[in-house]
Structure 1
Amino acid sequence: MTVDTRTQNAPEPDRAEKTMGSTSRRIVRVGPSSWIVRPRMVTVAVVGAAITLLLFLLSVGVSDYPMGPFDVARVLLGGGTRIENVVVFDVALPRALVSLLVGFGLGMAGALTQRIARNPLATPDILGITAGASAAAVAAIAFSTSWGAWLADLGIPAAALLGGFATAIAMYILAWPGRRANAGIDPFRLVIIGVGVTWMLQALTTYMLTRARIDDAARAQTWLVGSVSQATWSDVWPSLIAVSIGVTMVIGLSRPIGVLGLGPDIARGLGINAGRMTAVVLVAAVVVTALCVSAAGPIAFVALLAPQIALRLTASPQPTPLASGLIGAMLVLGGDLLCRTVLPGNLPVGIVTAAIGGPFLIYLMITMSRKATV
């Protein structure tokens, strides 16, 4: 087995590549196989993983029995006392794991939808996937003793998954390109339809809240803000399944997903069925988003922020799903830490991400407007 590592530099990168950074990369060959390794992306991934681990340990350590990161690591490795084990494993660890997994899943799902639509605004929040999952989950929470009992019997994860799939199917049918199925879905049409579906489902959710009992409505409203404060081990498993499905698909279909982001014409020229691959990626994004929403509620703007931050840090021409997942995990873990240590009243993490995401959305719109006028 031989390994051949070399650096390639494009002699004349085009304008898009110049704005995104250096095109320097290394090609690693092991026998007949070869991989393209981008040093900057690897550096960002390693640093991001280290920061995520630190935030995770800090999140576990913030409780009524405070511990430092090294103490938390000692307990997780089996060296804690009885009290420390109870505090870490029964109270603090589920919340930190849900924050980590939900943030990673939402960031990864946002990168996938932005790639297939080739639009930075095409996130599960905008496309109606989150709204559909939320509407079904609210029905299961607020009407568990009446007409929504069958959804409650399925459980919130299954109800959210059902709502997300129903919304995605409706949106895909409305955006279907007709006879030109192999050309893929028009990104502009997909976003416009997604915005309309989102507002319709939010109106439906608001109507259900006005018709529910006051205590059920209050519980559903708290969940709708996006919070990990009540996370238990039962909330860990849906988000873990979501991340496992997403990571497996991203790794297994890395080449088709990367080609799909270049546009349907290039994808078709390279032998990729754009319509079929778009459907596969959309299904994966729906599953990941719905399961993450069922665990922590619709935490706003993570799916928008994480891919765009990762895009700028890695100097990549397209959002990278795994790097976006790391940034998403950092956003939710860091936001939850702020809510528990700095901000008053133990606010839900969704308020922090919304406060950050709103100005970033304005910046993104201004940037897109300037590029369109050049």
Structure 2
Amino acid sequence: MVTTDPARRVHAVHARRLRRELLTAVGFSALAAAAYCVMLGQGPVELSPLQVLDVLTGGGSTRAITVVWELRLPVAVATVVAGAALGAAGSWTQVMARNPLASPDILGVSGGAAVCVVWGTVLLRPEWAQQVPLFWWRAALGLLGAAIVVGLLFALAGFSSAQRVVLVGLALSLLANALVYYALARADMHRAADAQTWLAGSTAFVRMEALLPLCLGLAPFILIGLWAQRQIGLLAHDDATATTLGVDVRRTRACVLLAATGVVAVVVSLVGPIGFVALMAPQVARIVSGAPTPQLLSSAAAGAAVLAGCGVLAGFLPFAAPVGLISAIVGGPVLVWLVWRGVHKNGRVA
């Protein structure tokens, strides 16, 4: 029986979308969990799923315990957490910008972090900084560079127009790329090669002591995004419509930008720039769930699955490859497909 009551029909559509959203999130979470378990067994010392499970439940040999808990577990956790965070940030940015091809990468946050890290490690690293472990020195520089770009973005673009924010962010990103290439051109060959590895984006150097700072750094920005989540979906309409629906557009846009750029800043500062995940994950989740706009839960789950899957692919290669390199290789064709799909479906990218 088909209901003719408009209110019931709207409620039924909403309930159906919610079910598909939850099923999509659960499906991608299951894929991320499977990839996570595979990552724990991959490497020079291969472990079967039963051996990994034995170690995680308190058993296993001393060698297996060392390999899993000290080497692979932090990498796997950082990969899943970073992927989920980037997926969430991508969903916020795309809804705010009303553009499926927008992502935090184009706002210059990753570029700003890269500028500070490259300049601070290959050209201007002071003597006292030689005593600081390279991982934490890079993390501090990356956070500083990202914070500078976020400040410039807010100062130059404001919150009045999503398009203006994207354009200013793109300009800052291009400027940052030019500064990075200039620093690499002037750097010593060995230091430049080391910086290139970081620029590819890698979770392979993350150790257990870095997981707590990663999670604590992400927490406030995730909370800001969750606080604004109720009104974020209404930003998909034009500003006039969103205002009519009771949304404080400037304040909501400011919260979305702060949450998305802050999340990316923390991730980049610890694991380096990882491209395309924030772009791919929300759109893949949206297409699978059939939602009109990217949704937070499924986008985060898809981000975790995408980056964990890239980590698994990297583990099968006969040479060491940063997970960011794999995501870029996968993301390029996905970007082309998204553009083709938008043009083929609507006659434009939408």
Corresponding residue for residue 272 of structure 1: 247
Work out whether 1:123 is the aligned partner of 2:97. no
1:163–1:145 CA distance, 2 compared to 1 (3 A)? closer
Corresponding residue for residue 199 of structure 2: 224
Corresponding residue for residue 330 of structure 1: 305
TM-fit CA distance, 1:147: 9.5
Superposed counterparts of 1:87-106, under 5 Å = 87-106=67-86
Corresponding residue for residue 357 of structure 1: 331
Kindly indicate which of the two structures has a greater share of residues assigned to helix.
Answer: 2
Q: Distance in 2 between matches of 1:162 and 1:145?
A: 15
Q: Distance in 1 between matches of 2:255 and 2:179?
A: 28
Instruction: Tell me if structure 2 keeps the 8 A contact 1:107–1:303.
Output: yes
For 2:230, which of 255, 280, 283 is the aligned residue? Answer: 255
For 1:267-301, what per-residue CA distance to the aligned partner results, in whole angstroms no more than 9, with x for missing partners? 32233221122111211112210111122211121
Corresponding residue for residue 138 of structure 1: 118
Corresponding residue for residue 163 of structure 1: 145
Where relative contact order (Cα < 8 A, 6+ residues apart) is larger, the structure is 2
Greater CA drift, 129-138 or 197-206:
129-138
SS at structure 1 position matched to 2:279: helix
For 1:293, which of 261, 268, 281 is the aligned residue? Answer: 268
1:137–1:79 CA distance, 2 compared to 1 (3 A)? same
1:85–1:231 CA distance, 2 compared to 1 (3 A)? same
What TM-score results when the alignment is normalised by the length of structure 1?
Answer: 0.82
Identity across matched positions, percent: 33
**Aligned partner letter, 1:159:** L
TM-fit CA distance, 1:62: 1.0
Q: Distance in 2 between matches of 1:281 and 1:309?
A: 21
Corresponding residue for residue 61 of structure 2: 81
1:55–1:266 CA distance, 2 compared to 1 (3 A)? same
1:348–1:373 CA distance, 2 compared to 1 (3 A)? closer
TM-fit CA distance, 1:339: 1.3
Corresponding residue for residue 215 of structure 1: 190
TM-fit CA distance, 1:171: 2.4
1:321–1:139 CA distance, 2 compared to 1 (3 A)? farther
**Aligned partner letter, 1:228:** T
Kindly indicate which of the two structures has a greater share of residues assigned to strand.
Answer: 1
**Aligned partner letter, 2:78:** V
Corresponding residue for residue 310 of structure 1: 285
1:360–1:167 CA distance, 2 compared to 1 (3 A)? same
Cα RMSD, aligned residues only? 2.7
**Aligned partner letter, 1:229:** A
Instruction: Tell me if structure 1 keeps the 8 A contact 2:86–2:303.
Output: yes
SS at structure 1 position matched to 2:13: coil
SS at structure 1 position matched to 2:86: helix
For 1:59-105, what per-residue CA distance to the aligned partner results, in whole angstroms no more than 9, with x for missing partners? 01113332223432332222333222111111111111111111111
Instruction: Structure 2: give runs of 5+ residues left out of the alignment.
Output: 1-6
TM-fit CA distance, 1:231: 2.4
SS at structure 2 position matched to 1:25: helix
Corresponding residue for residue 9 of structure 1: 9
1:214–1:312 CA distance, 2 compared to 1 (3 A)? same
Q: How many equivalent residue pairs?
A: 339
Q: Distance in 2 between matches of 1:373 and 1:51?
A: 32
Corresponding residue for residue 36 of structure 2: 56
Corresponding residue for residue 3 of structure 2: none
